Structure 1
Amino acid sequence: MSSNFNHASFIWSAADLLRGTYKQHQYGDIILPFTVLSRLDAVLAPTKQAVLEATKGLDPDVDPSPGMLRAKAGHTYSFSNRSNHDLKSLQGDPDNLEQNLRDYVNSFSSNVRDIFEKYKFEDTIVDLAQNDLLLQILQHFAKVDLHPKAVDNEKMGHIFEELIRKFAEASNETAGEHFTPREVVKLMVSILLANEEDLMTPGIVRDVYDPTAGTGGMLSVADDEIKAMNGSAQVNLLGQELNGASYAICKADMVVKGQPIDNIVNGDTLMNPAFKNRTFHYGLSNPPFGVNWQKQREAVTSEHEIAGFDGRFGAGLPRVSDGSMLFLMHLISKLREPSDSSGGGKGAIVLNGSPLFTGGAGSGESNIRKWILDNDYLETIVGLPTDMFYNTGISTYVWILNKDKPAERRNKVQLIDATEMFVKMRKSVGSKRKELSDDHIVEITKLYEQFEESDVSKIFDVTDFMYRTITLERPMKRNYGFTPERIERAMAAKPVTKLDEDAQGRLLEVLEAAGVDAGGELSFSRTEFQKQLMAAANGKGVALKPALVKMLVDELSEHDDDGELLTKAGRPVADAALRDTENVPWNEDIDEYLEREVKPFVPDAWIDESKSREGAEIQFTRHFYNYVPPRSLEEIDADLDEVLGRIRARLEQVKA
C-alpha cells in the first residue's frame, strides 16, 4: 500500500508550488482535477493518433460514436479527446498554454467535460495562468505516469482517496468523511459473492449499485472480483454521489472502465434518489457516520408520511442527528425482490455501532430494526476492529442484507466477531492503524459460508433480538401530614409561588396552624385530612380555591405501603412516581414474566398494556463477552511481596 501513497504524496507535493499564492483549503480544487486530467490523458495516449485520423472531417461539436471509434481506431473507451494536443505537447508552447489547455479540455467528449465543469476547471486554468503557475503545475504532473499499465484501477482508487483525505485535512473538513479501506471493501464483496453459484453462468449480467459512491472504490472492487470469477460476465456499475469532487473522480474511473455515462449521478441520495424505478443484484454502501440530516428532513419526512411502505422510509425515521439508518433503508429498497427472474438482491453496508442499539422500544431506530428483522432482510453482521478507517477510530460493523436467503438461513441472523482479526500497519494513515490481511478476509468469508457456531460466530433466531417493553404500575397509597418538611415543599410549589407575598404569608399561617391542630399525627384518610386543612383555613379566614386545595393535599402527602389506597371508578390509581418499565424477551409471555420476575418483590404491581411497546436491538458485544474472573488475593499478595522485595533490595544497595 505504501507505493500507492507515495504516488499520492508526490502529486500532493504540487501544493509546494501553490503555497503563498493559494490558501490551504484551495489546494484540492486544483490538484484533484489535474490528477483526473492526467489519468484520462494517459488512458487515451495509446489510441490518440488513431482517434484523430478517424475523426477528421467530422463535426467538432458532435461526439464521435464509440462504436465507430472502436471499429476504425481500436479505441475501447466510451469517451475521447479530439484535440491535437496532449499534456506533454502543451508544454511546448508556453506562450499559448492557457488557451491551448482550455481547448484541450473542451475537446473531450461531453460525457467527460461534465467532470471538469464540476471543478470549475476553466476558472482554475485562468487563475493559474494569471499567477504564472500554470506551466509549473503542468510540468509537475508530467513527471508522474498514471497509465493503467503503471497504475491499475485499484491503485488509482487509493491515490484518489488519499488525495481527498489530504484535501479534507487541509480544509479542516473531517466530519462524516470516512473513506472505506480497500481491504474492507474486498471483505464486503467477498461475502456478497460467496455461494453465488449463478455467477459462473457464461455471459451473466449483474448490476452493482452504490448510493454513496464516493470515488467509486466499492464499484471498482466488485467489478474486478466478479470478472475474476467469470471473465464473460457483464457488470453494470451504477452509483450516486453528493460531493462534486468525489463524483468527478468516480465518473472518470467508470468512464475509463467503459461504463455508460448515465450510470454515475451527482446528487443527494436521500432527497433526489437516482434510478428510481430500478433495483439491483448487489448493493454496497459506506454512508457517512453520524451526519445530521436536517437539510433533507422535509423531503424525507414527507416521503415517510405520504408514501409509507410504498416509499423507502415507511418503517420509521431515526433521530435527526444521525441519518445512517436512512441509507440502510434506502439500500434495502434498491435490492431486487425474490420474485425477479434473477432472484433477490444482496447488499453490504458499513455502519457504526449506533444503528445496532440506539433508541428504545417504539423509537424510529427500534422500529426500523424490527422491520428489517420481521422481513428477514438481515443475514449477517461482521464486527470489524477499531482504527480501520482513515478519519475515525470507532467500532464499525458490516451488515449483510439478503432478500432471498437460502433455506437454512431463513429467520436466522449470524454475528461474526472479527474485532481481533487485524495486522498493525507499520505507519498509520490518519486514524487508520490496523488493516485486514488477505488471510483474514478468507477466514471471515469462510465463517460466513460455513454458517456454524464457534467462538467468533454466533447464530440467532431473528426474534432473539426482539423484545417488548412493558410498563409496570403500582397503586397510589398515601399518608398525609403537616410536617415542616412537607409544608416547605408545598410552599415551594409553583401555584403557591405565583401568589403575592401577603397571600403566601396567610397560607403559611394556615398550614402551620393545621400542623398544631394535628399534633404531629399522620392521617391515612385524604377526606379527613382535607377537612383538617379547610378547618384551619376557615379559622384564619382564608378562602382556598379547589385547585389549590388539591395541589396542597398532594404536596403534603407521601407514599406509604400501609397508607390509604386511592381509587377512581373503583380501580386503583397508578402512582406515576413508582412507575417502572421492563424489557421482556419476545417469545416470553408477559403475564408469566410478571408473576416470576416482579410479583415476588412488588406483589401489588400490574401491567398497563396500553403502554406496551415492541422493540428490537442487537447488542453485538454482549454476545461475545467472555467473563474473566479477577485474580485471587493470594496471587496479588505474592506479586506485592515480590515488588516490595525488589524495593527493599535496592534500598539496601543505596545504604551500602
Structure 2
Amino acid sequence: MMKKTNENKIGDFYWAYADILRGIGINESMYDQRIMAFMALKLLVDNELVSFNFDYKKNFGLPKQTFLIYKGTDTKETLINIINGIKQLGSSKLQYFIQDKNYNIDGEDENILYYINHKKTFPLISYIEELENSYLEMVLDIYIQKANFKDYPKEEYKNLYETTISRMKKLSGDLTGQHFTQKSIIHLMCEYAVEDLKKSKSDILAIYDPACGTGSMLMESAYYFDKKINYTEKGNKRKKLKNITVYGQEMHGQTWLLCKIFLEISQIQNTIAHGNTLTNPAFDKINGDNSFDFIIANPPFGVDWKHDYDKVIANMKKEQNSNFFVIKDNNKIITPKKSDGQFLFMQHIINLLQVSKKHGKDAKAVVISSTGLITSGKETSAEGIIRKKIFQDGWVDTLLEQPKAMFTNTDISTLLWFLDNKQTKQNQVYLIKTDNSYINNHFKSKELKVLYTTARVKKDKQKNSYSDKNIVTIAKLLQNKQEFPLFSKWLQFDEKYTINFENELHYDIDTSSIVQDTFNIEESYQALCLALMFSDEINNKYSNFKETIDKLSSYIDGGFVDEFYEDYVNIYQKVCQMMQKNQKDINKKFQDMIIAQKQKEFENIDKTFKEIEHINTKVKISLEIV
C-alpha cells in the first residue's frame, strides 16, 4: 500500500532552505526560483529517473568508477560536474524525456535533462555556485531529510507546484498568481466528453491544453478519462484500451520544465511545447490527420497581448491557413481588445475544432473564462462582433456560470464554455447557472448549495467545489438540455449577444394562493412586551410560552424559515434526482413542492399566532403604583 507523504513535512524544506537564503542575502522574492530548482532535480532523483542522488557523503549514489568521472575538489564542484553531465546520467526509466527539439526551448536539444540547468528554466549551477560548500551540503541534507518524494502519490504531483508557489508568495508578501484549476472543475469539464470519447473509433485519444502551465489539467484529465473509458464501473479493465496522449504548450520555461517532469513521473505519454501559443502555436493538428479529441483550457485572464499584435495579425492574414478562427467585419480582421487575450485563445481553439471537422472527426473543448467575455463591449465593439460570430456559427454548445470562490486566488464567478464542432444549434446557446439567488432567498442565516458544494479542503479564496453527485447532475443537464428556469434554459439570440445570467435565469414562484396576511402584528408586539416584563410569571402558567415567543421573534426578524432548512434540502435533492432522470414537468413539480412547503410554514406560524392570541386574551396584567 502506498504511503502518503505528509504535506506539512514536505513543506518543511521550503522554510529550511529559505533560512539559508536569507542568511546569504538573497532577496525573498527570489526564494521560489531556487527552491523549485532543487525540487525539480529532487523529483527526478526520488523517482529514479536519474542514476544519482543527493547523498554527497556516499558518492551521490554513483558507482565508484562513475563517481570518479565527476569527482571534484569538494561537494560543490562534484555536483556542478554531475549537472553538466546530467544527460549521460538519465536512467532507463525515462520514457518521454526525448522529444523533437523544435518543441523545446530555443530548439537547443531533444533531451529534457539538458534543461535542468538553463537560463530560461532554472540556472541551477548559478544557484549552486552562490552557496559556500558547507551551505550547499546543508541544502542537500534539507532535501534528503525534508523533501522525500519517493512515496509521494502520483496524483498529487499536480498540486505540488501550486503548494510551493503559494507558500513562497506568502513568504515574500506577493499573493498574486495564476488561477490554479481545482480537481472537481477538471472532472466536470472532462465529463462533457466522456461518452463521445468512448465511441471514438481511434485507439489513441489526444488531449490538448494550449496554456498548460505545469500540466495540472492534462494530468487530471488523463487520469479521469483513463478511469472512465478504460475501466468498467466496477473497476475492471476493459479488453480494448485506448491510449491516452496529452499535448500542451507553455511559454514560461520553468513551468514548461516542471510540466515535463510531472508528466514523466506520472507515466503519461506527452508532447509539451515551449513557446507562446498566440504567436507561435506548436500544433496545427494533433494526432495526425485526425487531429485532437478533446481540448481543455484555462487561459490567463486579463493578460495584455499588445506586444504580440503584429505577429497575431500576420497569422490571421493567412485566413484559411491561420492558426485562429478568423473573424472579419466589412472585410477587416477583428481582434479582441489588447488588454485581454482570452478571446484569442478561444479563436485558436475553435480553429482546431474546425480542422478536426474537416477531417470528419467530432471534437469537443471546454474553456474557462471570466464572465467579462459575455458582458463587456457593445454589439459594435470587437468583443461584440467576435461573440456574435461564435454564437451565430453554433460553436458554443453550452455556457455554464460557476459559483464564486472556486479558485485559490480569486473569488469572482467564472464561465465554462462547452464547445462542439458538430455546430448543431446556430444563433442560440444552452445556459446553466449553478448558483441561483432564489435558492437562498428562503433563509436568513442558512446557506443551501445545490449544484455545487463546500470544498472539503479550503485553500485561500477557494471555498467551493463540485461533488461527484453535482457533476452527475450537471452532466445530465449538458446531455439532455432540459429547461428548468431555476438552473437552465435555451437562449435564442436576437440583436444582442451579451448575456446576463442573473436576468436570464431570474426565478420566483407565485405563492399568493397561500393566505399570509391574517396575523395580528399589534398583538404580536403586545405579547413580546409581556414576555420582556413578565416572562417568568407567564411561563409558570403557560409552559410553552417561551418557545412560542421564540418562534414569534424568529418570524419577525426573518429567521423563521431557517427552522425548515432540512425540508428544503430534501426538496432540492428530489429536484436533482429528477434532473438526473430527465423527468418531464420538473418546473411544475418543483413549484408544487415549494408551495406545499410554504403552506406548511404558514400553518406552523398560524398556530404560533393563535397561541399568542390565546395568551393575550387570558393574561391580565395589573400595575399598581404606590
Cα deviation, residue 334, structure 1: 2.4
TM-score, structure 2 as length reference = 0.65
Contact 1:336 1:345 in 2 (8 A): no
> What residue number does 1:452 align with?
482
> What residue number does 2:305 align with?
293
Matched residue count: 461
1:133 corresponds to 2:126: no
1:42 corresponds to 2:81: no
1:609-624 matches, within 5 Å, as 615-624=496-505
Contact 1:286 1:351 in 2 (8 A): yes
Contact 1:387 1:431 in 2 (8 A): yes
Contact 2:210 2:250 in 1 (8 A): yes
* Amino acid in structure 1 at the alignment position of 2:278: L
Cα deviation, residue 412, structure 1: 5.2
> What residue number does 2:247 align with?
238
1:149-183 residue CA offsets vs partner (Å, 9 max, x unmatched):
x2233201112221123334445555562111122
Contact 2:325 2:350 in 1 (8 A): no
SS of the residue 2:353 aligns to? coil
SS of the residue 1:414 aligns to? strand
1:103 corresponds to 2:81: yes
Separation in 1, partners of 2:396, 2:410: 25
Separation in 2, partners of 1:635, 1:137: 75
SS of the residue 1:322 aligns to? coil
* Amino acid in structure 2 at the alignment position of 1:367: I
Contact 2:184 2:466 in 1 (8 A): yes
> What residue number does 1:86 align with?
53
Separation in 1, partners of 2:345, 2:463: 27
SS of the residue 2:113 aligns to? helix
Cα deviation, residue 637, structure 1: 5.5
SS of the residue 1:87 aligns to? coil
> Which is greater in Rg?
1
- With over 3 angstroms needed to count, the CA separation of the structure-2 counterparts of 1:362 and 1:412, relative to structure 1, is closer
SS of the residue 1:133 aligns to? helix
* Residue from 123, 131, 144 that aligns with 2:126: 123
- With over 3 angstroms needed to count, the CA separation of the structure-2 counterparts of 1:139 and 1:269, relative to structure 1, is same
* Amino acid in structure 2 at the alignment position of 1:344: D
SS of the residue 1:335 aligns to? helix
SS of the residue 2:292 aligns to? coil
SS of the residue 1:37 aligns to? helix
- With over 3 angstroms needed to count, the CA separation of the structure-2 counterparts of 1:650 and 1:624, relative to structure 1, is farther
SS of the residue 1:180 aligns to? coil
Contact 2:391 2:426 in 1 (8 A): no
Cα deviation, residue 247, structure 1: 1.4
* Residue from 252, 277, 295 that aligns with 1:283: 295
> What residue number does 2:273 align with?
265
What 5-or-longer segments of structure 2 have no aligned partner? Answer: 61-71, 88-110, 231-236, 328-333, 436-448, 538-622
> What residue number does 1:29 align with?
33
Contact 2:180 2:407 in 1 (8 A): yes
Separation in 2, partners of 1:211, 1:95: 46
Cα deviation, residue 136, structure 1: 1.9
Cα deviation, residue 304, structure 1: 4.2
Separation in 1, partners of 2:397, 2:113: 39
Cα deviation, residue 308, structure 1: 8.0
Among the aligned pairs, what percent are the same residue?
Answer: 24
Separation in 1, partners of 2:319, 2:384: 20
- With over 3 angstroms needed to count, the CA separation of the structure-2 counterparts of 1:400 and 1:176, relative to structure 1, is farther
Contact 1:361 1:367 in 2 (8 A): yes
1:102-501 matches, within 5 Å, as 102-109=80-87, 110-117=111-118, 118-129=121-132, 132-144=134-146, 147=149, 150-171=151-172, 173-175=174-176, 177-199=178-200, 204-228=203-227, 229-230=229-230, 232-258=241-267, 263-276=271-284, 278=286, 279-304=291-316, 307=319, 310-312=322-324, 314-315=326-327, 316-335=334-353, 337=355, 339-341=357-359, 343-404=361-422, 413-419=429-435, 420=449, 421-425=451-455, 428-460=458-490, 464-467=492-495
SS of the residue 2:178 aligns to? coil
1:641 corresponds to 2:525: yes
Cα deviation, residue 368, structure 1: 1.3
> What residue number does 1:19 align with?
22
- With over 3 angstroms needed to count, the CA separation of the structure-2 counterparts of 1:19 and 1:648, relative to structure 1, is same
- With over 3 angstroms needed to count, the CA separation of the structure-2 counterparts of 1:133 and 1:440, relative to structure 1, is farther
Separation in 2, partners of 1:215, 1:33: 14
Contact 2:45 2:53 in 1 (8 A): yes
SS of the residue 1:398 aligns to? strand
SS of the residue 2:307 aligns to? coil
Separation in 2, partners of 1:34, 1:625: 53
Separation in 1, partners of 2:6, 2:15: 14
SS of the residue 2:55 aligns to? helix
1:197-248 residue CA offsets vs partner (Å, 9 max, x unmatched):
325x6x7112111111011011111211222222622222111112222212
What 5-or-longer segments of structure 1 have no aligned partner? Answer: 45-79, 468-614
- With over 3 angstroms needed to count, the CA separation of the structure-2 counterparts of 1:638 and 1:126, relative to structure 1, is farther
Separation in 1, partners of 2:523, 2:370: 41
Cα deviation, residue 377, structure 1: 0.8
